[in-house]
Amino acid sequence: MTLTTVLFDADGVIQRPTVDWRSTLASYVPPGRPAEEFFLDLMAAEQPSLVGKGDFRTAMAEVLARWESTAELDQVLDLWHRFAADDTVVAMIQELRAAGISCHLATNQQPYRRAIMHDERQYGAWFDQTFYSCDLGVAKPDPAYFKAILTAIDRPAGEVLFVDDNAANIEGAREAGLHAEQYDLDTGPAALRTLLTSHGLPLG
């Protein structure tokens, strides 16, 4: 079946951090406390808000209090702003759209980050539709996430390619019947172009 649609993940595919998250977070941990455990606690606290449950800011504040961190909440939240899209990848997506291929954003994000991406940085202008896990109420790698998108775009799974940097997400997409390929932005946009053209997608 000919591909008509591509779903793109955000972090690691379209955009990358502009700061070293781990070293920055480590500076917020009191002396003698394990920085890696602090990082994992923050990530765990974020999980409910990725599917639209709970308040992200409240969850982060609770972690800071639990760890007796001297960092201000806004200082930590600022890290979620520290990312940049790759212009070459964005241009590639526009090239596909101009050739008649539907392109959609498919990303796990909580409402705070969604507002940055969608409202402040206007990611919606780059895609036919955008699908944030916090809006769908389900997150990758759950196959239900992909099935919800298929319903929204009204396309059979066999016409859709999903690109993500996470192996578990790739497996979830394949379980839902999509074509899926793993790609990491650190390998360079040229590798993404090769991947897409290998599926017969119209890129020069």
Strand 102-107 and strand 5-8: the pairing is parallel
pLDDT score for 126: 97
C-alpha dist (Å) from residue 123 to 30, 44, 82, 155: 37, 26, 15, 22
CB atoms within 10 A of CB 53: 11
Question: Does residue 203 lie in a domain region?
Answer: no
Which domain does 98 fall in, by range? 5-16+84-198
Within a domain: residue 183?
A: yes
- 107 within a domain of the structure (yes/no): yes
Q: What is the pLDDT of residue 204?
A: 79
CB count within 10 Å of CB 50 equals 23
Residues 77 and 175 in one domain: no
pTM of the model: 0.95
Q: Which residues of 122-157 are buried (b: 16+ CB within 10 A; e: fewer)?
A: ebeebbeebbbbbebebbbbbbebbbbbbeebebeb
The tally of domains found in the chain comes to 2
**Which residue, 146, 184, 193, is CA-closest to 164?**
184
Element (H, E) at 164: strand 160-164
Q: Which residues contact 144 (CB under 8 A, 6 or more apart)?
A: 138, 176
Asked if 11 and 28 sit in the same domain, the reply is: no
Give the pLDDT score at 1. 73
CB 86 within 8 A of CB 189: yes
In angstroms, how far is CA 59 from the centroid of its own chain? 20
d(CA 159, CA 49): 31
pLDDT beneath 70: ranges in the chain:
none
In 3D space, the residue among 194, 149, 151, 153 whose CA is nearest the CA of residue 172 turns out to be: 149
- Judge if 11 and 25 occupy the same domain: no
Domain final residue, candidates 81, 103, 122: 81
Residues 129, 182 within the same domain? yes
Q: Are the beta carbons of 32 and 67 closer than 8 angstroms?
A: no
**Are residues 12 and 53 part of one domain?**
no
Which pLDDT score is estimated for 191?
97
Rg (CA), the chain: 18
Report CA-CA distances (Å) from 71 to 61, 89, 92, 203. 10, 35, 39, 46
